[in-house]
Amino acid sequence: MNVAVLPKLSDLNDTSFNPFVAETLEYGEFTDTYERLRALRRTGDVQKGSIYSFFMNKENEALRGVTTHMVLGYDLAAMVLTDPVTYTNEAFRRTLGQSFGEMSLTMLDAPEHTRYRRIFQKAFLPQVVSAWGESVVAPVVDELVSKFEKRGSADLLQEFTRFYPFQVIYKQLGLDEEARKLFQKIAVTQTLYRSNLENAIDAGRKLGDFLRQLVEQRIERPTDDLVTHLAHAEVEGERLPVEVVVCFFRQLLNAGGDTTYRGTSNILMGLLINPEQLDRVRTDPSLIPQTIDEGLRWESPAMTSPRTVTRDVELAGVALPAGSVVDVVLGSANRDEQKFADPDRFDIFRDRKVRAFPFATGPHVCLGQHLAKVEITRALVALLERLPNLRLDPDQPKPVITGFHLRKPKSLPVLFG
Ligand code: HEM
């Protein structure tokens, strides 16, 4: 694309704000997240309070005064997520919607959600997405691995997983080097509405202005990038409104980049701390799909998903008033001992009769799940093929996954060759 025509993305009003530090503070550095959730589940699958307050010991400012419950068990979580009439996505409009805008798929409910989602789905058909695996994902993965492949040691998080899904998105957006850094900073700031609402709203506005110009450019002058693809996607003569495309891209770095970065890091960690399973996958790459399923069950990158209750209901004997919010704790449901034997164990060979839902379930199930799997598969194949005898570096501290939401280890120090 013609780099010269790229619109200008403005920095935050508060130029000194560092969202990367703020982010760690916002998610905490807990190492006992699952123990605490297990203890909570033992006293009931529905609990008063929000997951944020439970871990951070303070109120989520965006939901101040709103009664909130947590849904922790698998069956109840599935029930809530597949009943969009009783449990709507309004909760997102009050939280992330303040910075992301109210027209992204996550913020919408039927009938708009259903209408727009089918157009997006057409744009994300499995055959389209697997073609991106070759044209977009593979070159990004290859370039990153080439930087350390000859060295014999690397930090797979700091040198690989931290970059690859974001670079995939930058390529899909047609962003140049200059725009990328600021884009990431602004996109991360948008998510920090709980603790830095003013900066989050400023970030959402700046990113929206930039993306609106980009989408309008692509409508006038189509290229072969994803912006053009979505701006022109059509089902039965209906196209997506500009604002819906803008909001999709505003959400993408977090919905698609952050989740895939953390998911890939956690899967790699599961393999590295279980070297016998790593060996099996290395010698038999057909095990990769079940490795991805298990890794995302074991450590679901998106821990929780809120819904608003539209009528007075009772869930597991607990009264949920109309207008209240439920935090569906996906990470807890995916470790429910009623459904998964020895749920804290990473086991790529576990019985897969019960499917975990790291991508949620119901009408808002992740639109990008096929793309995420294509990306993670490409990453695992490249790392296992090109880094023989891949193993944790025994002289470095053993990695630990921390946080109560968007979890990941700090580093993945490895040796190979
Ligand atoms: C391992 C990687 C990923 C995980 C764990 C993940 C997880 C999720 C979850 C849990 C939701 C549901 C949120 C809700 O309850 O409403 C969701 C929705 C969504 N995801 Fe992903 N995601 C991943 C990758 C991606 C990618 C690569 C994309 C890129 C297109 C993407 C785009 C979206 C979108 C647009 C939605 C909103 C769908 C809707 O509301 O209809 N995700 N994702």
Place of tokens 């190492």: 31
Q: Return the ligand 1 atom nearest residue 92 CA.
A: 16
Q: Which residues of 387-407 are buried (b: 16+ CB within 10 A; e: fewer)?
A: beebebbeeeeebebbbbbbb
The per-residue pLDDT for range 65-99, each reduced to its tens digit, is 999 999 999 999 999 999 999 999 999 998 888 88
Determine, yes or no, domain membership for 248.
no
Q: Return the ligand 1 atom nearest residue 307 CA.
A: 15
Best of 122, 245, 366, 405 for a ligand 1 pocket test (most atoms within 8 Å of beta carbon): 366
- Of the candidates 27, 6, 9, 24, the one whose C-alpha atom is nearest the C-alpha of residue 203 is 9
Domain count, the chain: 1
Q: Return the ligand 1 atom nearest residue 120 CA.
A: 35
Sequence-separated (6 or more) residues with CB below 8 Å from residue 55: 28, 30, 33, 36, 404
196 has a pLDDT exceeding 90: no
Determine, yes or no, domain membership for 234.
no
CA-closest residue to ligand 1 atom 15 = 305
Q: What is the mean pLDDT of the chain?
A: 93
Ligand 1 pocket at CB < 6 A: 89, 105-106, 117, 252, 255-256, 259-260, 263, 296, 301-302, 305, 330, 358-360, 364, 366-368, 371-372
Sequence-separated (6 or more) residues with CB below 8 Å from residue 2: none
2 has a pLDDT exceeding 60: no
Determine, yes or no, domain membership for 50.
yes
The per-residue pLDDT for range 266-308, each reduced to its tens digit, is 999 999 999 999 999 999 999 999 999 999 999 999 999 999 9
Sequence-separated (6 or more) residues with CB below 8 Å from residue 138: 378
Q: Return the ligand 1 atom nearest residue 117 CA.
A: 41
Q: What is the SS3 assignment for 347? A: coil
Sequence-separated (6 or more) residues with CB below 8 Å from residue 18: none
* Percent above pLDDT 90 for the chain: 78
What are the residues facing 304 on neighbouring strands?
329
Per-residue confidence at 327, pLDDT binned at 50, 70, 90? very high
pLDDT for position 289: 98
Rounded Cα–Cα distance for residues 232 and 240 (Å) = 8
Best of 90, 116, 124, 259 for a ligand 1 pocket test (most atoms within 8 Å of beta carbon): 259
pLDDT for position 99: 84
Supply the CATH number for residue 411's domain.
Answer: 1.10.630.10
Rounded Cα–Cα distance for residues 255 and 367 (Å) = 10
Determine, yes or no, domain membership for 267.
yes
Determine, yes or no, domain membership for 224.
no
Determine, yes or no, domain membership for 199.
yes
- Domain of residue 47: give its range: 19-209+260-415
pLDDT for position 30: 84
CA-closest residue to ligand 1 atom 18 = 366
Per-residue confidence at 1, pLDDT binned at 50, 70, 90? very low
- What is the average pLDDT across 168-197? 87
CA 261 to ligand 1 centroid distance, Å: 13
Rounded Cα–Cα distance for residues 368 and 359 (Å) = 9
The per-residue pLDDT for range 132-154, each reduced to its tens digit, is 999 999 999 999 999 999 999 99
- What is the average pLDDT across 348-373? 96
Residue 51 · residue 70 · CB < 8 Å? yes
pTM (global) more than 0.75: yes
pLDDT for position 3: 43
Q: What is the SS3 assignment for 184? A: helix
- What is the average pLDDT across 32-57? 94
Determine, yes or no, domain membership for 227.
no
Determine, yes or no, domain membership for 2.
no
- Listed in sequence order, the DSSP H helices in 62-190 are 74-81, 90-94, 97-100, 112-123, 126-132, 138-148, 156, 164-173, 177-190
- Of the candidates 321, 319, 329, 308, the one whose C-alpha atom is nearest the C-alpha of residue 53 is 329
Per-residue confidence at 336, pLDDT binned at 50, 70, 90? very high
